[in-house]
Chains A and B, each alone.
Chain A
């Protein structure tokens, strides 16, 4: 049989086939997380661009900002708008400023749980936001898929913070990270484009 000759590198670049064991040394991704050890563990060398990332929290306030602040500081520093859709607490402006976030580019949207998903989708789809953070309460597979599609359309980073109980259910998110407090670590549960690293990524805990 005479098949078409397909370039293996091309297929790898298009992410149509994955290598089971990644080569460890790679260039820094387009959307670095700001945590060197986490970047190393992720196949794209950072957040998956234009896609949904799910943060599975042991409980609200258990370290999601520690994980996100470097990225948000970088995005707002570049003049990208970051939208918080219905955050569970008030973002304490001096602390965000101390973390390097440019408050001129930070927007908080208040909405009830039903409208919050709509608002997050609108912000993602619009293409005028660099990152959108949301805290969906009872997000089903369908709602997450909508967020994922909206993030692709608007080329924005989408972050959905959800309780860790949701980690059992499958999810369309491109990246799922569980944030543990005891011990302080990040576990990559799923990452598009590679096998999730087996070892959790330890961090220094809360500063």
Chain B
């Protein structure tokens, strides 16, 4: 088994940065009680202003201005960690969040699919960078060693027991995750590296230190194993972004929306499913939430498609009050079946598949706008067709030319005098069983302009001819 540890040294800051449009502006992360606000973390631009972590906010204000402050938000960090675990689940079935701000994943069994470790590592790094997170990645042959080597290394890969032991032996004693007092005691005994500790007799060590220390050392070397709880992907997706100011325009919502949709797509790829329905909630201060429902006819997981659809729905939405938070929820996560594409397709490459086009039309024109027609086996014209998602032929064959191609949505009374009846009446008498009883004589008529229509006289209540369609 090979364990990769992804350490996220700046998770709190990166979490704050990834919600901002321009990450290069100076940003300061604040913590501590309200009386004594302390700078917890800063980005590079803030460091150039002369700010340092650990300063009080007042001191920072005295040193420089033009930086923005963000409250450290544990809930949001937890959310990002959840998302990361979901993302890592794509590459490994055993993902653990045992250590805070770090992910452990077993990759030994994933290499067959994702290629040798350098390839997989490059891929992990690329995707983490795209998610806006700084990281260190170390590969070792047990999870504890991987986590502890990540304290001092980045990009280290030790593939067997012996190399792991050698790499660990060179580690400084205070970076090994030992209990504080044990690490201090070793340092005072003049032991600077793990190699020196390992050279001590085991029983002497056991006598002087708590059992915990020996256990940790054994776990480091892989002599005893650590019980890990593994990540189980949830079966729904929910993410929320707090906007830093009240937003009233659609345009300003698009950037955070894109971020949420990208997170959703990462989650879907990790679970190997698609999304069929999701809701974008715009949370206002006092007003009830505005909700844009995005429904698709087939499961989809491509971020650009999802974003375009969500955007279409959002732009149609009226925003009654300023928006504070943006929230994306998806409960309906059916399996995703990639579209079949032939190698030698007759159509051109840049053509848009019909499914995408249909969703695009539905997003702008409404869910019911794009329909196919089904012919039904009924003689009554109103009941002989149906708008449906999938068109189909009926079993009732009508003679060609005996029925009009165009049907009026409502029959109209014909008042014109100069109509000519062509041919004899055709009686349609049907529907006594479902309450839509019809007794009509249908005629083919010709108007003065030469148009041919389909009109009927109701046998139940005598009156004018009713026009119901055109033979176009």
- The reply to whether A94 and B400 contact each other, CB–CB distance below 8 Å, is no
- The reply to whether A64 and B472 contact each other, CB–CB distance below 8 Å, is yes
Residues on the A chain within 8 Å of B406, using CB: 60-61, 65, 87-92
Complex formed: what's the CA distance from A110 to B450 in Å?
A: 29
Residues on the A chain within 8 Å of B384, using CB: 92-94
- The reply to whether B372 and A108 contact each other, CB–CB distance below 8 Å, is yes
Residues on the A chain within 8 Å of B393, using CB: 97, 102-104
Report if A206 contacts B (CB, 8 A). Answer: yes
- 0/1 per residue, A93-108, Cβ < 8 Å to B? 1111111001111111
- The reply to whether A181 and B449 contact each other, CB–CB distance below 8 Å, is yes
Residues on the B chain within 8 Å of A154, using CB: 351
Q: Tell me the residues in window 118-168 of chain A with beta carbons closer than 8 Å to chain B beta carbons.
A: 118-119, 122-123, 125-129, 154-155
Chain B residue nearest to A128 (CB atoms) is B354
- The reply to whether B361 and A109 contact each other, CB–CB distance below 8 Å, is yes
- The reply to whether B361 and A119 contact each other, CB–CB distance below 8 Å, is yes
Q: Tell me the residues in window 56-105 of chain A with beta carbons closer than 8 Å to chain B beta carbons.
A: 58-66, 69, 81, 87-99, 102-105
Report if A207 contacts B (CB, 8 A). Answer: yes
Chain A residue nearest to B369 (CB atoms) is A110
Report if A2 contacts B (CB, 8 A). Answer: no
- The reply to whether A126 and B450 contact each other, CB–CB distance below 8 Å, is no
- The reply to whether B371 and A108 contact each other, CB–CB distance below 8 Å, is yes
Residues on the B chain within 8 Å of A99, using CB: 400, 405
Residues on the B chain within 8 Å of A36, using CB: none
| Min C-beta distance of B409 to chain A, whole Å | 6
Complex formed: what's the CA distance from A93 to B392 in Å?
A: 9
| Min C-beta distance of B392 to chain A, whole Å | 6
Report if B298 contacts A (CB, 8 A). Answer: no
Q: Tell me the residues in window 362-377 of chain B with beta carbons closer than 8 Å to chain A beta carbons.
A: 364-366, 368-376
- The reply to whether A182 and B449 contact each other, CB–CB distance below 8 Å, is yes
- The reply to whether A93 and B374 contact each other, CB–CB distance below 8 Å, is yes
Complex formed: what's the CA distance from A78 to B433 in Å?
A: 40
- The reply to whether A62 and B365 contact each other, CB–CB distance below 8 Å, is no
A98/B402 contact (C-beta < 8 A), A62-B451, A90-B407 known? yes
| Min C-beta distance of A6 to chain B, whole Å | 30
Chain A residue nearest to B373 (CB atoms) is A93
Report if B408 contacts A (CB, 8 A). Answer: yes
- The reply to whether B370 and A109 contact each other, CB–CB distance below 8 Å, is yes
Report if B237 contacts A (CB, 8 A). Answer: no
Report if A195 contacts B (CB, 8 A). Answer: no
- The reply to whether A98 and B381 contact each other, CB–CB distance below 8 Å, is no
Report if B352 contacts A (CB, 8 A). Answer: yes
Report if A174 contacts B (CB, 8 A). Answer: no
* B interface bracket (residues with beta carbon within 8 Å of A): 35 or more
- The reply to whether A128 and B373 contact each other, CB–CB distance below 8 Å, is no
Residue from the list A65, A98, A128 in contact with B353, Cβ < 8 A: A128
Complex formed: what's the CA distance from A155 to B349 in Å?
A: 12
Chain A residue nearest to B471 (CB atoms) is A206
Report if B397 contacts A (CB, 8 A). Answer: yes
Chain B residue nearest to A154 (CB atoms) is B351
- The reply to whether B375 and A119 contact each other, CB–CB distance below 8 Å, is no
Residue from the list B354, B371, B398, B403 in contact with A81, Cβ < 8 A: B354
Residue from the list B353, B401, B408, B450 in contact with A207, Cβ < 8 A: B401
Residue from the list B347, B400, B451 in contact with A181, Cβ < 8 A: B451
| Min C-beta distance of B456 to chain A, whole Å | 14
Report if B399 contacts A (CB, 8 A). Answer: yes
Complex formed: what's the CA distance from A61 to B452 in Å?
A: 8
- The reply to whether B368 and A110 contact each other, CB–CB distance below 8 Å, is yes
Complex formed: what's the CA distance from A62 to B353 in Å?
A: 34
Report if B320 contacts A (CB, 8 A). Answer: no
- The reply to whether B373 and A106 contact each other, CB–CB distance below 8 Å, is yes
Report if B391 contacts A (CB, 8 A). Answer: yes
Residues on the B chain within 8 Å of A127, using CB: 347-348, 350-352
A60, A93, A128: most-surrounded residue (chain B CB, <10 A)? A93
Residues on the A chain within 8 Å of B361, using CB: 109, 119, 122-123
| Min C-beta distance of A61 to chain B, whole Å | 3
Residues on the A chain within 8 Å of B453, using CB: 61
Report if A111 contacts B (CB, 8 A). Answer: yes
Report if B470 contacts A (CB, 8 A). Answer: yes
Report if B256 contacts A (CB, 8 A). Answer: no
Q: Which 9 A-B pairs have the closest CB atoms?
A: A127-B351, A61-B470, A181-B450, A89-B406, A207-B401, A93-B385, A93-B375, A95-B403, A65-B405
15 A-B pairs (CB sep. < 8 Å):
A61-B451, A62-B451, A65-B405, A65-B406, A90-B408, A92-B381, A94-B385, A95-B403, A96-B405, A103-B373, A104-B372, A110-B369, A110-B371, A125-B352, A128-B353
